[in-house]
Amino acid sequence: MMSCASVSVSHMILGSVPPVKLPEKIYLEKFEAVPIGFQVNRRGKNLSTLMNNEQTQLANDIIIRLNKYVAPTVLVKADEVPSTGNFWLLRGSFQKVHEGSRLLRAAIGLGFGKTRMETNVQLIDLSRPGYDSILLTLQTTGGSGMAPGAITAFTPIGPFVLSNTLINAGGSLGGALGSGISIDRCRTAREIVAAISQYCVQEHLISKKKGLHPKQLGKLPYFFMSYQKIFSIHV
């Protein structure tokens, strides 16, 4: 089955003062969202509901993965001020959410009707005040809709890719109809946590064995790089 979604990390910038140990807790603020950044077919109350849902679901996705791979993580309540001490604060914003066209993704695919989700992210050390408290900043970017749609079945290569086409066009199986901002959101959460994990490995806070590897924009995925390295050693 062909992949229909991809999100990458870019513009990773490390702070000037690294942490000496993992935090006791990570506080997560819901990512900021403004209507102008959401290019979707909704207005008024429906748009507000969608934005709130994306904020909540992204926070939940990130919390689950941070709890598993980095450190205990909790959501900051609207009126809550995070404690100072050996804690981190993760905050961010939705820069762009474009829902594309599900019909075009299902019928044609290959980038037609594709979605887009972009975020800015900031990780802050709450044990230090001021600019030196910034541990890491990064951006994520990516979307869904590169898989072929149903029209592929009517091309000369149709008989060879028909089975994949049916899968790609079948929403219940995670293909073109099932692609969209919900997939982008899950991938975005995964890459944000992977970037934080990689940062922790680099600062010797967690072992390489337990570390995750984000997909960095313009770079080969980690497993391709590892294979390439192994191959070059044996030839």
Model's pTM, two decimal places?
0.76
* Residue-wise pLDDT tens digits, 92-147: 999 999 886 554 444 444 444 578 899 999 999 999 877 679 999 999 998 875 44
Which residue stretches of the chain have pLDDT < 50?
A: 1-4, 103-112, 146-153, 157-178, 222-235
Domain limits at 61? Answer: 5-233
Question: Which residue type occupies 24?
Answer: E
- pLDDT for residue 143: 84
Structure tokens at 134: 């910034």
- pLDDT for residue 156: 54
Q: What domain count does the chain have?
A: 1
Element (H, E) at 47: helix 44-69
In this structure, the strands spanning 25-28 and 73-75 are: parallel
Structure tokens at 73: 């993580």
